[in-house]
Structures are given as C-alpha cells and as structure tokens.
Amino acid sequence: MIIIMRPNATAKEIAAVEQQLIDYGFKTHPIYGETRTIIGAIGDKRLLSMNQMLMMDGVENVVPIMRPYKLAGKELKKDPTVINVKGVSIGANALAVFAGPCAIESQEQFSGIAAQVKKSGANILRGGAFKPRSSPYSFAGLEDEGLKIMANAGKEFDMPICTEVLDTRDVELVAKYADILQIGARNMQNFKLLREVGKCSKPVLLKRGLASTIEEWLMAAEYIMSEGNENVILCERGIRTFETSTRNTFDLSAIPVCKELSHLPIIADPSHAAGKSKYVCALAKGAIAGGADGLMIEVHNCPEKAMSDGEQSLTPAMFSQLMTELSPIAAAVGRTL
Amino acid sequence: MIIIMRPNATAKEIAAVEQQLIDYGFKTHPIYGETRTIIGAIGDKRLLSMNQMLMMDGVENVVPIMRPYKLAGKELKKDPTVINVKGVSIGANALAVFAGPCAIESQEQFSGIAAQVKKSGANILRGGAFKPRSSPYSFAGLEDEGLKIMANAGKEFDMPICTEVLDTRDVELVAKYADILQIGARNMQNFKLLREVGKCSKPVLLKRGLASTIEEWLMAAEYIMSEGNENVILCERGIRTFETSTRNTFDLSAIPVCKELSHLPIIADPSHAAGKSKYVCALAKGAIAGGADGLMIEVHNCPEKAMSDGEQSLTPAMFSQLMTELSPIAAAVGRTL
Amino acid sequence: MIIIMRPNATAKEIAAVEQQLIDYGFKTHPIYGETRTIIGAIGDKRLLSMNQMLMMDGVENVVPIMRPYKLAGKELKKDPTVINVKGVSIGANALAVFAGPCAIESQEQFSGIAAQVKKSGANILRGGAFKPRSSPYSFAGLEDEGLKIMANAGKEFDMPICTEVLDTRDVELVAKYADILQIGARNMQNFKLLREVGKCSKPVLLKRGLASTIEEWLMAAEYIMSEGNENVILCERGIRTFETSTRNTFDLSAIPVCKELSHLPIIADPSHAAGKSKYVCALAKGAIAGGADGLMIEVHNCPEKAMSDGEQSLTPAMFSQLMTELSPIAAAVGRTL
Amino acid sequence: MIIIMRPNATAKEIAAVEQQLIDYGFKTHPIYGETRTIIGAIGDKRLLSMNQMLMMDGVENVVPIMRPYKLAGKELKKDPTVINVKGVSIGANALAVFAGPCAIESQEQFSGIAAQVKKSGANILRGGAFKPRSSPYSFAGLEDEGLKIMANAGKEFDMPICTEVLDTRDVELVAKYADILQIGARNMQNFKLLREVGKCSKPVLLKRGLASTIEEWLMAAEYIMSEGNENVILCERGIRTFETSTRNTFDLSAIPVCKELSHLPIIADPSHAAGKSKYVCALAKGAIAGGADGLMIEVHNCPEKAMSDGEQSLTPAMFSQLMTELSPIAAAVGRTL
C-alpha cells in the first residue's frame, strides 16, 4: 500500500507511520517530496488494514496496490474457468442458456415450459422453489415440493437444473435436488450463506447485488471459493440507479470488466434487469454481443397468470423467436448457441 | 388500484380487463375519456398483483392506491411506538444512545469502553460478536465468546445490549444473550432471517439496506411484525450513491419521511454513514435536530488498533465531547439526553 | 390526471378538489370507494400542474396519465425519423458511425485521423473545438481555429462533421461550420442553449445527461423540437452510478426504451460510457446488437499524447478492427455498416 | 502522482514511464518491489494528465496526490471566507437566511412575501426571474420585469437580493439588478457561464449539481475563482439517488466535508432537496445543527396557486414558525439567527 502524508505532517508523525509499517512486517520506501512525504509499503496487507493506517496522525490517504481477491482474480489462474454440469459447459465456446419460470407452480406448468424451452435451444432449466419476495404476504414458492418438481423435469428432459437457496438451513436440501445453486442479488453479501454454499460440491450461480460494485461481487465469489468450491458462475442482473423506466439498469460493461479481472464465467439475466418483457430481447442480444457466456431468461406459458414476475417473462413463442435471432449474433462473436 | 389503458385499447381489451378485476373480487369504476379509458378498482390487491394486470393487452400502466405495508404503517396504529428494554425507552421523549465498538475484541476492551460511554450518557451498549465482512480473510468476530463478553458488561453496567445476528441458525443463541437483535444493512432483505427474528420475543433494530428505498425498508419491518414481533426500531445508516467522500450518503430526510409513514421509532447511525470519524459529530447533531429518536455511535478506545472499522470510531473522549454538544440540540427540539 | 384522496379526506376537501379541476376546464370522474375517493380528471394538464393539486388539503397523490412530451413522442408521429446530412442517413437501415478525436489539436492530426477512420468505414467526423473540461486549467479546445480545421477535413474527405457547442453566443458560429451540432451531457438541461439550437437549421446530437432520466432526456429533445428543429439525434453515453470500474454506466436499456417511446434515432457513445479504451469494443457491439442506429467513437492516432480523454480513445488500428468485427453483428440485426 | 505498474511490467516499460515523467519536469522516485514497481512523481501535474500516464504500456493505475483545486481549497487560504453583501455577512457567526418564492409572479406577490419573511428574520431575498423548467411549455419566469420587481423589493425592505442567471448573454443584465448571482444545479458544469460570472463583481451562489461529486463542485467554484471572483457561496440542494420519497436526497455530510476541504461558506437549500414542504423543516434544522452557514427557503403566500414549485414552498406562517424553532438550534451550535 502507499501512504500519502499530509503536507504539514511532522517528522515524528512520519516516523511513527514508518515504525507501524515495520512492526507489521512491511518494507517501507519513503519518498520525501518538497511539499509532502509518501511512503510505499510492500508486504501482506491482510495483516494491517488500510483503515488502521488512515487513523494515524499526519496521514492523508492510503492507496491499495493489490486487489483484495486472489482466487477469483487472474493472478493465480489465467485461463478461463469452464464449468461442466451434466454435460453442459458454462464458460466454453457454446453459450449456456438457462430458461424457465420465475416460480415453480406445478409439475404440469414446469414440465410444459421445460419441454418448450428445450425445443428452442435452452440447455439448463431454471425455476424458483424458494422465492425472496419484498412483501411477506406474497407467494414464497412451493419449497420442497418445488424442488421435486424441478428434479422430475430435469430427469425427463435430461437438463441440469438451477434454483435459488435463501437460507443456510436449506443448503443441504437444495443441493440434494439442484445441479446449480443460485445465490440471489439480495443475498450476495449474506456471508454465512456464501460460506455454506462454498462447502457444497455443486456449482454456484452468483447474482450481482442490486448496489454492489464489481469488486464486492468478486469478493463474494472469493468467499465461496475460499471454502473450496471453485465453480462459481457470475450473473449480471442489473443495478439500482435513478432511472425508473426499467426495474434495474443492466450494466453491460460489467461483462468486459469481469472478463478482464476474473477467470470465472459470466452470464446475463436480462429479465430481472429490464423488469418488462418488451425490453428483454434487446438486452439479451446486447449481452451476447458484448461477450457474455450465456443468458438466464424467464419464460412462462401464461405470463399474465404468473404467481411471480409475470411482467418480465417471455412466452415460449417469444423465447423461441429470441433464440432464432440470437443465433447469428452468437456466430458473429465466435460463439455457438 | 387504477388501470390506465392505452389510447388505442380496443373495447374487447377493456372488457377483458374489467372481467379479470371482477373475477378477483374487485369492484370496477371505469372512466371512458375521449382519448383513453381508466379503470378504478377497489378491492384487496393482495389477491391480484399489479404485474398481472400490466401484462394484459391494452394496459399502459397500473397505479397502486394503498401502501403495501399495514402493520408498519399508520393506518392501523397512529400513536408512536415506544419500546422499553430493561428500563430504557426507545421512541420516547428521552433519546436512546447506543454506543460501543464495532467488534468485541476482549472483555477488558469491551468493559473499558462500556464504562466510559455510560459515564458520558450512553444508555445502550452495542458491539459486534458476529461481523459481516466484505473479505473472507478479515476478522469475523469472537462469536459465542463475544456474546458472553457483552452480556457480562451489560450486567456490570446495568445497560441493555444490542448485537447483530447474521444467520437464521444463530437467532436463538443471540437472543439468549442480547436484549436487542440487530439486522444489518446487508441482511435487510434476507427474508428468512427477518421471519426468524420476527418469531423472537426480543426487539429488533432494523438497519436500512445500502440501496433500499424507504418503502422496501418498511416492508422489511412488516416481515418481522407479520410474525408477531412488533418491537422494531428503524436505523438510517446511509445509502449508496455516486459520492465517494463519505462511505455512504446519510439520508437525513429518511427521518421525517419515516415519521410520516410509520409509528415505529427511528434512530441514526452516523458512524457507518460517514465512514470517517471526523464527520460523525456533524451527522449526529443533524440527525437529532432532524427528529431522530436516538443514535448508534461507534466508540473505540484505540481506533488505530481496532480490528474492524477503526476509521469511523470516536474515541471515548470524542464521544464525551459529542454528548455534551448534543445536549442543547436535544433540548432545542424538545428532547432530553 | 388521477387524484387520489387520503382515506380521511372530508367531503369538503373532495368538493374543493373537484371544483379546482372544473375551474381549470377538466372533466371530473370521481370514484367513491369504501376507504377513499379517487378522482379521474380529463383535460389539458398544461393548464394545471400536478403540484398544484398535490398541495390541496386531503390529496394524497396525483398520477399523470399522459407523457409530458408531444413532439418527441409517438402520439403524433409513429414512423421512425430518418435524418439526412450531406448524403448520410441517421436512423435508416445503414448504421451511422461518428468517429474522430476528443479534441482537435491540429490540421495534420485531425486530417490524419479522418483519413484513417473513413477508410475503416466511419461516415461522420466528430471532434471537439470547444471542450467542456472539469478543470479551468485544462486545455479547452482550439475554438474557432478548431472549427476551420474540421471544416477543411470535412471537405477533403467528403464527410459531414459534428462538434459540440457550449454557449448560446457560439451557436451561430458553430452552425456556420458544423453539419451537426452536439449538445453535451453537461448541457442537456441548459435550456437556453437547447432553445437556441432549436432555432437553428442544423441537426442536433443530444447527449443524455449524466443523471438524467429518459423522460428528462426526451423533454430536452422536446425543447429543441418546440423551436422548430425536428432533427434531433439521441445519444446514450452512460449514466452516473456507484460503480467505479467504468467512468459511467452504459445504459443499454435506454436504446429499446427510447425506441418504444420516441421516433427519434438513437446512437451510442461507448467511449465516454466506458472511459477506458479496453472496454469500448464490447459496449459498441452490445449497443448495435441492442438496436442502436449508430455509434460515436473516439479515435486518436496517439492516445497517450492526447490533450483530452486519451484514456478512452481507440487507435486507428483498433477502430479498424472494431469495424470489421461489427459488420456481422450489424448484419445479424438486419442493419448494414 | 504515483504510478503503479502492473506485476508483469517489463524493464523497458518501466524505463519509458520514468522517461515520460522526466520529460514533463517531474522528479521520479521508483520503488522496486518484489511483485511490482511503483513510481512516485513530484511535479506540477497540470502539465501532464493522469490519463496520459494511464495509457502507457505496463501501467496499472495512477493515483493523484494533490487535490485538483487550489483557490477553493485550504492550501492557500486557511481562514473561512466571509462574504459581505449590503451589510449581511455570509459565513460569519450569524446565519444567512435566503427566503422568497420560487418564481416572481408580480410586484404585489413578491413584496408581500418579502415583508413577511423579513419580519420572521430572513436577511436575503431570493426569487426566480429566469426559471429553468424541465418542460418547454412551463412558465419560465418574468425575466427582465422580474428583475425589476426584485430590485424594488430589495430597496423597499433594505435586503440584498439573489436570483439565478441561466445564460452567458444575461450575466450583465442580471448583475445590474441582483446582489448575488445564483448558478443553478443544472448549470453547475456550464463552464462558459461559470467563467462569465467569474468575471463579474457580484458574489455567486453556486448550487451543487444533481449528480456532482463534492470534488466537481469545488472545481466549479475554482472556475469562478480563477477568473478573479473569490466570493463564492456553496449551496447543497440534494443529489439524485434511487430514493423517490423525496425529490432529491439531501446530502448532510456535504456540509462537514466542504468545511474540511474548503474555506468557502456553505448553505443548505432544504426546499429543493425535499421537494415537499412537509419535510423542509426537519432538513433545515438538521442542516443548521450540522454546521451550515445558512439556509435558502422557498416561501410562497399561496403555495397551491404558485406558478412553480408550490409543492415545496412554506407559507409565511410556516416559515415564521420554522425561524422560531431554528433559533435555539442555532444557539446550540454557537450561531445566531
């Protein structure tokens, strides 16, 4: 880290800062300028927080040199991570397309949608058994029964299934049925849950928090990976801004930024970003052209009767049309669909 | 709710919307304007989501009439809620002042700070036993041992204690020691945790999420209250914005807005909002003048050695000075300190 | 507009609101529900502001029915606007590509870049003669001389030129040389300047403000159009959010939203959105796949010596590569490049 | 500035960076760490932009050491600036209270309000003659006539007057009548206008932009000051965030931050921040307790008939009540009202 002293820092203050750094095992490299002193410090910053240095008398600012994540970053692993789930690769040349309804409502509903999205080219089923709802009075999912419905459909259509887990107490149960565990945007910094899915052997789809920076997101991935689970899939789903014409603002640039900083695969969820089905296709196309490794799309056979998020769901026919239109875009960026 | 039809909506579309409303038990009141039709619908909106209506052909917009929370709002309860914890009132004329270190480091540290903040006028002890940290490699609290240290200090100084709970699995344990359970900003929409503390008999301090609207915050309070626990204390702790000179942007207006919309008490946490100790006092004074029912302040005997958040902690001497300066401001708004 | 009365509004208050609406020429349609009254009001809302109604006793909320822009919206004009500038169409099937340096530094520099971008397929030259700079000590452009340099290059390479105007006093001068006048993000709500370019016969490229909603942006277009200049080109260039890994957050969804709400053409400026050249290509591709009518790209022959914004400029070689890669994406969405 | 090289930067890249710094007159101080090299550079950063360095091969990051403003900061002037306008001091112990209607509607209206706010203790009159309106169809002010009305009232009540200037072409005219020129939030980065009021002899009230960082705001002040006008008054008026229950989010922390970074006086505008009159008093009290040097409050004799912003205006009676309540708060922070 680099410690920038105030212009009027005294020699005593400067000496105290140097001593503190040395005490924590850092090598110091002071630069005594005309107006102020700057101290470069080389060492393991985990032993000494930037905040501790900032608190010392005479210190104006402290600048980190290294990024705070190791396993999620590229310093230790340069090659892109490819995750294989029951024969489907995520992060490979072929795009991963997760599709399905927001909430699982019945076996008939779910299997019906599964049949249609599979036909259109989706390769992973998604659906909610445990639903985070902003109102305690809203439908919160079929829970255990929903998991079984999903698993049945997964077997019937030979597709891996992905569903959200909300509670540390449910990780074991959800992992029993699901092939990919989803951590939702609201739980991106539920650190206990991150550690728990990190102890699990199933890949984790990690959605970006509503107001999380990319660095915080990669730190959340680091939590999971630090417990031994290296199969993390990032999912950009829009961030909260002042704009109200969409539910969230889809941050397209998160795709190239994550590709630069991390080896993990990244997919896009245009459904939650837009919040309105009429904008989903434009975002999906933009995400693939911008380099995403796949998509997560909400599809419902009867959106106006959906028990959750119908507003943003495509019908199977709209989804089929989208897949047709995506194909040449995928080809244009060297990917297959 | 009010359904605004598109200018070119057909008679058939309008009829279908009316029928759907009637099917769900609403009374409809259509207004046939020259350019478009508007349909007022009176009924229980929990049975029919706005999104379902929005999905129907010919519908341009749906406007809610009623607020989505009932228990947290003022429709059913107009008088301000006053919460009594071991002789300390929160929401009453006298201000509640929560003080203590971010993380509990040892009995000696915690009791030492407790003695000093009590002397300066704090009436509730706060401290972290379970710490949410953005890095998996940071100190995450003393956990069980921290709870015991807190409880000891609570008895020694005859003060109620408040500490954060992070995991549904820990609610019972934390509730055994703590007098007030804190739900942190990152868990404001951890709905399973909200339900779990809602089943508990201890009051809950509910911090506002980093990017949560006031409506979402009151809905989180509704979650807790809907499980039977009506003792919820709101805590404004700054929201995430583009400004970087403070860690978060303290939203002073949240105080009068919550006072208008809810009967629940609201306190301010200037320490987490500012992120820098030098700005804490100005925010604390502003919050009290603006109508807050109390404060939560981080105090550490040696901030530059703190294991967490030292940067924003006041020293006991600074805290004592702040309490002295707050006293006439409290008096100016008719409160006592 | 729709006036929602409070649950406890008195009959007198309701009558007063109805009378006020009638006084302003509205037809009223009250709905007397069990818990509250709602009044639908049909008429010209320009005569009566929503705020005036909100101020009345007993009123809880006022909801607009109509969008506040007329000329920029689709009610009066459904067909997409195509703007022709010296043989180049903007908003047509062929994409418009504006390219050039942030600041014009010399005839040699500008003509050199112009030659290269034309060769790669750009069809409009862009460059800054008057530069808005956040520091008063930074290079603010060559001003008049810059305009002449641009005009020379425009003639030499037979390309229309686009440049920013910052001051009402300069509109006439800039319009003398430029084929398209640019209103920058910081001036999107400089209403006097909007009116002034609205009186001008040259098309206007209107960048979205850093923190402007799409509605405010369309209202800014309305300002220009209300003065008689209907040739407005919208340009999405990123909005300000909490994320710091890019200069701004490119709002991809603004493209389908504007396409839905307005007939005006919309292009994307990935250079200012990203703020870093390494992310420009991903955003450019995503924008075209998402439906943009064109791009504005900063190109500099020697970015590390650029007098402004070098960090985000592509070299001519990078630009040429981008154009090659964009070609199949354009084809995939039915456009030509 | 400090240049942080990438871990894999070559010796050649490092040498090139050092040479570039030396070429621009900097003294370099390299630190060769085990994993990477850091180069401290002491010199005048105006000659070399950070961006130029960032573009060089092998450079990962560039960190500024000095703040970009000089005249607005405290390095050259430590004492707080006190501005005297016709006997009223701004930035002194006594608080400055600007009051008046959003828009000037007639001599009778304005003088009536002036008489009342003076009686309640306001010491500066504010009112809009040129109004920035988001719709081209809204009332834009009485313009010249409004200026004359204001000047008449200023003389009659012996109070300085403050009004907004929107256009470089109007600066001379407005300065002829007004005692303080206001730059509105939407023009905070209208650099031509900043330069023009900088050439003027009247003090300037500079509102913070809707999405402007404090650093950008102080740079806007620097623009004005760099032209010779050192009498700049900062005015915090709320920033744009995701929260919609208030028009903007009042950033209370901007007050202590500006007090730390700058010698300029800072006042608060709770009316525009809240956007609703019912929240104005809480914000006004909080701002004074938090250290503001004064307030700007909208007062209208008949808010529900106001031609602009009635929703957020206090009545004269509410304003009088606020002044009474503010008095002990001012005393509590050692100020007089």
Chain A residues within an 8 Å CB radius of C331: 328, 332
Residues of D in contact with A73 (CB under 8 A): none
pLDDT of residue A280 exceeding 90: yes
- At residue D84 the predicted structure's pLDDT band, cuts being 50, 70 and 90, is very high
Residue D253 and residue B244: Cβ atoms within 8 Å?
A: no
For residues C45 and D232, the model is more confident at: D232
pLDDT reported for residue D45: 64
Residues from chain A that touch C279, judged by Cβ atoms under 8 A, are: 253, 256-257, 260
Q: Six-digit token pair at C25?
A: 């020429």
Orientation of helix D214-226 relative to helix D254-261, angle to 10°: 50
User: Phi and psi for A164 in degrees, rounded to 5?
Assistant: -85, 145
> Is the pLDDT at D196 greater than 90, yes or no?
yes
pLDDT at residue A128 in the model: 94
How high does pLDDT run on average in chain C?
Answer: 92
- What per-residue confidence (pLDDT) applies to B126? 97
Closest CA to B126 of B251, B230, B269: B269
Lowest mean pLDDT among A298-302, B106-110, D86-90, D221-225: A298-302
CA-based nearest residue to A294, from A77, A109, A79, A85: A85
Alpha-helical (H) ranges within A105-203 are 107-120, 144-157, 171-177, 191-198
Q: Cβ separation of A253 and C282 shorter than 8 Å? A: yes
Choosing among D38, D60, D245, which should be mutated to test the A contact, i.e. which has the most A CBs within 10 A?
A: D38
The answer to whether B243 faces chain D, any CB pair under 8 Å, is yes
Distance from CA of B158 to the nearest CA of A (A): 32
Across B47-61, C289-303, D75-89, D149-163, least confident range: B47-61
Domains in chain B: ranges and CATH: 2-63 (3.30.70.1140), 83-332 (3.20.20.70)
CB C7 within 8 Å of CB C30? no
More confident residue, B46 or A13: A13
What is the DSSP-derived secondary structure letter of residue C30? Answer: E
With an 8 Å Cβ cutoff, are B244 and C240 in contact? no
d(CA D54, CA C160): 32
Q: Determine whether the interchain pair D256/B214 forms a contact, defined as Cβ–Cβ distance below 8 Å.
A: no
Report pLDDT for B284. Answer: 98
Of D158 and D309, more confident: D158
* H or E element at residue C39: strand C37-42
Q: Nearest CA to CA, how far is C3 from chain B (Å)?
A: 10
Q: Which of residues 250-279 of C touch A (CB under 8 A)?
A: 250-257, 260, 273-274, 278-279
**How many helices (DSSP H) and strands (DSSP E) are in chain A?**
11, 14
Please classify residue B325 by burial: count the beta carbons closer than 10 Å to its beta carbon, then call 0-12 exposed, 13-18 middle and 19+ buried: middle
Question: Mean pLDDT, to the nearest integer, of A287-308?
Answer: 90
Q: Cβ contact (<8 Å) for C252 and A282?
A: yes
Looking at the complex, report in whole angstroms how far the Cα of residue D243 sits from the nearest Cα belonging to chain B: 5
| Residues of A whose CB is below 8 A from C218 | none
Strand A180-183 with A204-207, pairing: parallel
337 residues of chain B, pLDDT tens digit each = 888 888 788 999 999 999 988 888 888 888 877 677 888 887 766 656 777 787 788 888 888 777 889 899 998 898 999 999 999 999 999 999 999 999 999 999 999 999 999 999 999 999 999 988 888 888 889 999 999 999 999 999 999 999 999 999 999 999 999 999 999 999 999 999 999 999 999 999 999 999 999 999 999 999 999 999 999 999 999 999 999 999 999 999 999 999 999 999 999 999 999 999 999 999 999 999 999 999 999 999 887 777 777 788 999 999 999 999 999 999 999 999 9
- Which one of B38, B39, B60, B240 makes the best mutation probe of the C interface by having the most chain C beta carbons within 10 Å? B38
**pLDDT, position B12:** 92
Q: Report CA-CA distances (Å) from B311 to A311, B55, B113, B245, D207.
A: 45, 50, 17, 13, 30
CA distance D17 to D10: 11
C135-139, C177-181, C243-247, D318-322, range with the lowest pLDDT:
C135-139
Lowest mean pLDDT among A206-210, C163-167, D21-25: D21-25
Residue contact A167–B192, C-beta within 8 A: yes
- Which B positions 114-153 lie with beta carbon below 8 A of chain C? none
C-beta atoms of B253 and D239 within 8 A: no
Cβ-defined contact of A7 to D63 (cutoff 8 Å): no
The confidence band for C322, taking pLDDT boundaries of 50, 70 and 90, is very high
Q: Which of residues 308-337 of C touch D (CB under 8 A)?
A: 309-311
Note the pLDDT tens digit of each residue in D37-60.
Answer: 888 887 766 656 777 787 788 888
Measure CB to CB from residue B289 to each of D244, D249, D285 and give the nearest one: D285
**Per-residue confidence (pLDDT) for residue D46, from 0 to 100:** 60
Give me the residue from A211, A244, A252 closest to C252, CB to CB. A252
In order, the DSSP letters of B310-335 are GGGPBPHHHHHHHHHHHHHHHHHTT-
User: Within an 8 Å CB–CB cutoff, is residue C247 touching chain A?
Assistant: no
User: Which stretch of A88-97, C226-235, D72-81, D226-235 has the lowest confidence by average pLDDT?
Assistant: D72-81
B239 close to D (CB below 8 A): yes
Residues of chain A found within 8 Å of residue D36, distances taken between Cβ atoms: 65
Average pLDDT on C278-302 reads 96
Predicted confidence at residue C139, as pLDDT, reads: 82
**Both tokens assigned to A218:** 């990669």
- Nearest chain C Cα to B38, which residue? C40
More confident residue, B151 or A75: B151
Q: What is the pTM of this model?
A: 0.93
* C316: amino acid identity, one letter: P
Least CB–CB distance from D2: residue in A27, A63, A240: A63
Q: How far is D274 from chain B (nearest CA, A)?
A: 7
How many residues are listed for chain C in this entry?
337
The most distant pair of C-alpha atoms in chain D lies apart, rounded to whole Å, by: 76
Contact criterion met (CB < 8 Å) for D252 and B328:
no
Chains that touch D (3 or more CB pairs under 8 A): A, B, C
Q: Which two tokens stand for residue C335?
A: 């456009």
What pLDDT does residue B7 have?
79
In angstroms, the separation between the Cα of residue B242 and the nearest Cα of chain C is 4
In terms of Cα–Cα distance, which of D271, D290, D284, D287 is closest to D324?
D284
> What are the tens digits of pLDDT across the range A98-139?
999 999 999 999 999 999 999 999 999 999 999 898 888 888
Q: Would an 8 Å CB–CB cutoff place B40 in contact with chain C? A: yes
* pLDDT reported for residue C45: 64
Find the range with the poorest average confidence among A63-67, A232-236, B100-104, C66-70. Answer: A63-67
The proportion of chain A whose per-residue pLDDT surpasses 70, expressed as a percent, equals: 98
Contact across the interface for B278 and D287, Cβ inside 8 Å: no
DSSP A186: G
Return the residue of D nearest to A60 by Cα: D65
| D contact residues 189-228, partner A, Cβ 8 Å cutoff | none
Chains that touch A (3 or more CB pairs under 8 A): B, C, D
Nearest Cα residue in chain D from C136 = D223
Nearest CA in chain A to B242: A241
Q: Which among C282, C287, C331 is the nearest to A256, CB-wise?
A: C282
- Please name which of A311, C67, C2, C44 lies closest in space to residue B39, comparing C-alpha atoms: C2
Residue A45 has pLDDT above 70, yes or no: no
Q: Where do the DSSP E strands lie in D165-300? A: 180-183, 204-207, 232-236, 266-268, 294-298
CA distance B56 to chain A (A): 6
**Residue among A65, A76, A260 with most chain D CBs within 10 A, to mutate:** A65
By the CB < 8 Å criterion, does A246 face chain C? yes
Query: Does C47 score more than 70 pLDDT?
Result: no
- For C82, counting Cβ atoms within 10 Å of its Cβ (0-12 exposed, 13-18 middle, 19+ buried), the class is middle
Tell me the pLDDT tens digit for each residue of D98-122: 999 999 999 999 999 999 999 999 9
Picking from C4, C38, C42, the nearest residue to B33 by CB comes out as: C42
d(CA C150, CA B233): 63
What is the three-state SS of D191-226?
A: HHHHHHHHCCCCCEEEECCCCCCHHHHHHHHHHHHH
Min distance C278 CA to chain B CA atoms (Å): 23
Tell me if D214 and B332 make a contact (CB, 8 A cut-off).
Answer: no
In terms of CA atoms, which chain B residue is nearest residue A195? B136
Q: Which of A4, A34, A65 sits opposite D38 (nearest CB)?
A: A65
Q: Tell me, yes or no, if B4 comes closer than 8 A to chain C by beta carbon.
A: yes
Distances (CA, A) of C303 to C312, C315, C317, D286, D290: 8, 7, 12, 48, 45
Residue of chain B nearest A71, judged by CA positions: B136
Contacting subunits of C (3+ beta carbon pairs below 8 A): A, B, D
Q: Above 0.90 for ipTM, yes or no?
A: yes
Question: What pLDDT was estimated at residue D297?
Answer: 98
Stretch C192-203: mean pLDDT, rounded?
A: 97
Check CB contact of C31 with chain B, cutoff 8 Å. Answer: yes
Question: Could you tell me if C286 and C252 are in contact, meaning their C-beta atoms sit under 8 angstroms apart?
Answer: yes
* Beta bridge pairs of residue A183: A206
- Interface size, chain A vs chain B, as Cβ–Cβ contacts under 8 Å: 113
Tell me which of A206-220, B128-142, B216-230, D146-160 is least confident. B128-142
Contact (CB<8Å) D282/B252:
yes
Residues in contact with D172: Cβ distance below 8 Å, sequence separation at least 6, in sequence order: none
